[in-house]
Amino acid sequence: MARRTTAAQLVAKSQGGERIVCLTSYDAPTAGLVEAAGADLVLVGDSVGNVVLGFPDTRAVSLDMMIHHTQAVMRGTRSVHVCADLPFGSYQVSPSEAKRNVSRLVAETGCQSVKLEGGQPWYGTVAAIRELGVDVMGHLGHTPQSLGLRPSRAPWTPAERDGIIEEARGLEAAGCFAIVLEIVPTQVAKLVTEAVSVPTIGIGSGPHCGGQVLVLHDILGMGPALPHARRYGEIGEAIRRAAAEYAEDVRACRFPGDEHGFD
Ligand code: KIV
């Protein structure tokens, strides 16, 4: 079996000046395609809740759901680094409960790292997870599990700017190997990126981060157009059109054709 890219290799790549390419995936076939496309990192985001499971937000996602989807992503890939989100409630209660849940997630899936949202309140939790020998990615800025804790695109105050720089430093000191910056103003993201030696992975945070992450379905055109994402395909429309053509063919008795049956 091919050895998977480690967190240390991703850090080295970033420190060597290369951008880290990350996309989300939630199932085996699309994760395999993302790996084949050359992504450095596959994130099994808890965005699985709103992107594919039909929940209004990420808070309904359970540890069992994350295990189920991370197992699928691991089965569909061979060598790419797979990071799994810690779902809401799985790490917030106490560092020891976080350790128990991370142990389960890693033991049952084989993923390389986990991600948690938030800064200062979770330094101890990051350090506790690192005691297990599991790599941790941080996540600052817009943190969807804390619904509405910070308005996404309102101007940032100097105190907020200094606060996120401080928290990024704190997460690095606690042991994070990378930090997602979600919907952070471009110049603030640049300052954060310059303040830490681990890669920042931006989403809606401008071009100065050490890497970029997007939700796969957003680049495939399977949801509404978003200001921070570029649509590289129109797969949603392709699916709708294919399903509509199939429906027309069935109703008009054009499918199945003779070639689709057997005697
Ligand atoms: O859950 C997710 O997909 C994420 C990314 C948007 C960073 O956390």
pTM of the model: 0.96
Q: What is the pLDDT of residue 1?
A: 59
Distances (CA, A) of 109 to 69, 92, 195, 204, 216: 9, 21, 33, 29, 21
**230: its two tokens:** 């570029």
Q: What is the pLDDT of residue 147?
A: 75
Q: What is the pLDDT of residue 157?
A: 94
Q: What is the pLDDT of residues 198-240, one digit of tens each?
A: 999 999 999 999 999 999 999 999 989 999 999 999 999 999 9
Distance from the alpha carbon of residue 257 to the mean position of ligand 1, in angstroms:
44
> Atom 1, ligand 1: which residue's CA is nearest?
45
Give the 3-state DSSP-derived string for the chain, with helices as H, strands as E and coil as C: CCCCCCHHHHHHHHHCCCCEEEEECCCHHHHHHHHHCCCCEEEECCCHHHHCCCCCCHHHCCHHHHHHHHHHHHHHCCCCEEEEECCCCCCCCCHHHHHHHHHHHHHHHCCCEEECCECHHHHHHHHHHHHCCCEEEEEEECCCCCCCCCCCCCCCCHHHHHHHHHHHHHHHHHCCCEEEEECCCHHHHHHHHHHCCCCEEEECCCCCCCEEEECHHHHCCCCCCCCCCCCCCCHHHHHHHHHHHHHHHHHCCCCCCHHHCCC
Low-confidence ranges of the chain (pLDDT < 50): 151
Alpha carbons 219 and 233: distance in angstroms, whole number: 6
Distance from the alpha carbon of residue 1 to the mean position of ligand 1, in angstroms:
28
Q: What is the pLDDT of residue 148?
A: 58
| Strand-pair category, 200-203 with 178-182 | parallel
Q: Known catalytic residues?
A: 182
| Binding site membership of 46 for ligand 1 (Cβ less than 6 Å) | yes
Instruction: Ligand 1, residue 24: give the atom nearest the CA.
Output: 3
Alpha carbons 184 and 73: distance in angstroms, whole number: 28
**Dihedral over Cα of 37, 135, 165, 147: its sign:** positive
| Binding site membership of 180 for ligand 1 (Cβ less than 6 Å) | yes
Domains detected in the chain: 7-232 (3.20.20.60), 235-263 (no CATH)
> Atom 2, ligand 1: which residue's CA is nearest?
45
| Binding site membership of 51 for ligand 1 (Cβ less than 6 Å) | no
Distance from the alpha carbon of residue 244 to the mean position of ligand 1, in angstroms:
32
Distance from the alpha carbon of residue 47 to the mean position of ligand 1, in angstroms:
6
> Atom 3, ligand 1: which residue's CA is nearest?
45
User: Is residue 6 within 8 Å of 81, Cβ to Cβ?
Assistant: yes
For the chain, the C-alpha Rg in angstroms (whole number) is 20
* Residue of 20, 58, 145 to test ligand 1 pocket, by largest number of atoms within 8 Å of CB: 58
| Binding site membership of 218 for ligand 1 (Cβ less than 6 Å) | no
Instruction: Ligand 1, residue 45: give the atom nearest the CA.
Output: 1
Distance from the alpha carbon of residue 23 to the mean position of ligand 1, in angstroms:
9
